[in-house]
Amino acid sequence: MLESFTETMREYPTLALFLTIGLGFLIGKIRIGSFSLGSVTSVLLVGVLIGQLDIPMSGPIKMVFFMMFLFSIGYSVGPDFFRSLRGSGLKQALFALLMSSTCFGITWLIAYLCGYTKGETIGLFSGSQTCSSLLGVGTEALGKIGLSKEVLAKEVNIIPVCYAVTYIFGTLGTVIILGNIAPRLLGGIEKVKAATIELEKKLSSGDRSKDPAYVNALERVYYRAYKVTSDYFNIPRSVHDVEKYLRDKGFEVYVDRLRHEGEIKAPRHDDMIFAGDEIVVCGRSEFMVKVERCIGEEVSDPEILSYPLDRVEVIVKKGKFTGKTISELRREDFMHGVVVRDAIRSGNPIEIDLNTTFQKGDKLTVVGRPVQVKKATKEIGHVDRPSVQSDLMFVGLAIFIGGIFGTMSIYIGSIPVSFGTSGGALVAGLVFGWLRSKRPTFGHIPQGALWLMNNLGLNVFIAVVGIEAAPSFVAGIKAVGPMLFVAGAVGTMVPVFFGLWLGHKVFKFNPAITLGCCAGTRTCTAALGAAQNAIGSTVPAIGYAVTYAVSNIMLVIWGLVTVLVA
């Protein structure tokens, strides 16, 4: 039975991959008290276990999903990332410099105390710090320091063995620390979540309206039906006169629906309203609370209130809409029957009153009958209509452009240093996510699609890593001994705990940013996913991007230094 199962998994490795993901998520949901492994850790452990069956995982599937994950992260936090650069970007770069120096220092000290050779030290460094690029860079550097062919071959051959032994804990240890232990060290999970929510409010990335389970009790726009009975209607009044009368009373509202002699219609400005008619009045909530006393009794009439409305977001672009107050815009024909529900400028909500003016680039949410909304948005700017469809042209080309950028190298001496295609995908996500926020006429990706790209992308990558690394991990332990595993674990944990202290006590980052900075400096994307899952927010990615870029370069430089001093 076991042999048959093993053969099936080897013949159909995709089945092993889905089994790993399914079991990983199942185990990740199990809680013991307040503790759980989380999906990322569980998927990696299941992958290592299933990988003992020696299942081949060929092809680019790992990098495809990894780049998808990194792009989705960048896209989600792009606008907030570029805003944060104005304040904390330089501090994050300095953090990465200090923490990556610690990674080098602890690795060199361990290698010195244990008497490791240059090849063993390079493998220890690349695996414990999860910096796979050091495998190639270190091998190339060894070939340039004048070793004999025999010694060079021995040193080069031991690098991947040592890497395999230390890499699993390099990843798994970082994931467990940042996903489970770190939030408790930073004040407790609830305190970290509260601090994250506060930062989300400042950055606007915590908009819960994107959560399908979220309903806001505060309605900004009301549509209410009234029986016309007030003394003002002792004689018939036109819609235009009624709206002017209400406006003179301080109520910026519209008559949006009229029932006269049993007939319901959308009234023109010159239609007459008689005593006993029913009308629907619409406007912002602050104007609607006292309208009843000027018209008559509010009634519950589903028939007159049952008609379609559009609620769309629109970016202000047209000059005729800017510089005018709400009160002045109210008198424009194209704004009749349309209410500005919300407004956002540079990521922050705008308080709306009669004197509010709008600028180009502001994002408004407007509500009204479809024909009126269509007429208004033409005069306001670019419509960002809700959709369940993803702009896959945008996704594909953006990741391609980012990947091409990632392949470009700068040379430190004769050693090429680059972001890599995965780092390029992250940069593409940041840039194109920011561009999307500035000009939402392209690149729409619904929240559900982003969630799938994020979670499936990361966990497929982690599953493949676990399955691929499992056989070489066991073989490596047998070849070099278990002490190297212990050395790698120390080399992994010390920089992470130092980084948590550094970010919390010295740089005084928000806890979520500290988690992201530590994951970025470790170039451990799995740890970023674990930290995000732990606190239920993508904010750590803001601290990840800068530190990931800086650390990618610094770890390679420190790797070259390792070859010289080990």
Report the pLDDT value the prediction gives residue 495, as an integer from 0 to 100: 93
Instruction: Measure the CA–CA gap between 479 and 160, rounded to whole angstroms.
Output: 11
CA-nearest of 127, 156, 157, 126 to 142 is 156
- Residue 200: how many CA atoms within 13 Å on its side-chain side? 20
Model pLDDT for residues 354-377, shown as the tens digit of each residue: 788 888 878 888 888 888 888 888
DSSP 206: T
- Asked whether the beta carbons of 249 and 352 are under 8 A apart, the reply is no
Instruction: Measure the CA–CA gap between 254 and 246, rounded to whole angstroms.
Output: 9
pLDDT of 206 over the 50 cut: no
Helix (H, G, I), strand (E, B) or coil at 223: strand
Instruction: Measure the CA–CA gap between 110 and 124, rounded to whole angstroms.
Output: 9
Model pLDDT for residues 237-282, shown as the tens digit of each residue: 998 899 889 888 888 888 888 998 888 988 888 889 999 999 999 8
Reported as type and span, the H/E element at residue 27 is helix 13-28
Model pLDDT for residues 13-64, shown as the tens digit of each residue: 889 999 999 998 898 888 776 556 677 778 878 888 888 888 887 778 888 8
Comparing 412 with 560, which gets the higher pLDDT?
Answer: 560
Instruction: Measure the CA–CA gap between 480 and 485, rounded to whole angstroms.
Output: 9
Model pLDDT for residues 180-191, shown as the tens digit of each residue: 899 989 988 889
Pairing of strands 410-412, 415-417: antiparallel
Model pLDDT for residues 440-468, shown as the tens digit of each residue: 667 888 878 888 888 888 788 878 877 87
Report the pLDDT value the prediction gives residue 274, as an integer from 0 to 100: 92
For the chain, percent of residues with pLDDT exceeding 70: 89
**Helices within 308-381 (DSSP H only):** 326-329, 370-380
For the segment 111-116, the average pLDDT, to the nearest whole number, is 88
Average per-residue pLDDT in the chain?
82
CA-nearest of 173, 43, 47, 135 to 559 is 135
Question: Phi and psi of 254, rounded to 5°?
Answer: -125, 150
What SS3 string covers 377-399? Answer: HHHHEEEECCCCCCCHHHHHHHH
Residue 343 CA to its chain's centroid (Å): 22
CA angle (336 as vertex; 334, 339 as ends), nearest 5: 105
Q: Which of 30-44, 96-110, 160-174, 519-533 has the highest mean pLDDT?
A: 96-110
CB atoms within 10 A of CB 97: 15
Report the pLDDT value the prediction gives residue 90, as an integer from 0 to 100: 80
Residue type, 438: K
CA-nearest of 69, 13, 26, 20 to 45 is 20
CA-nearest of 176, 125, 200 to 511 is 200
CA-nearest of 120, 52, 49, 46 to 481 is 120
Comparing 214 with 148, which gets the higher pLDDT?
Answer: 148
CA angle (105 as vertex; 102, 106 as ends), nearest 5: 85
Instruction: Measure the CA–CA gap between 164 and 236, rounded to whole angstroms.
Output: 87
Lowest-pLDDT range of 62-71, 226-235, 545-554: 545-554
For the segment 396-424, the average pLDDT, to the nearest whole number, is 76
Model pLDDT for residues 59-110, shown as the tens digit of each residue: 788 888 878 887 887 887 777 667 666 666 788 888 989 998 999 899 899 9
Question: Phi and psi of 390, rounded to 5°?
Answer: -95, 145
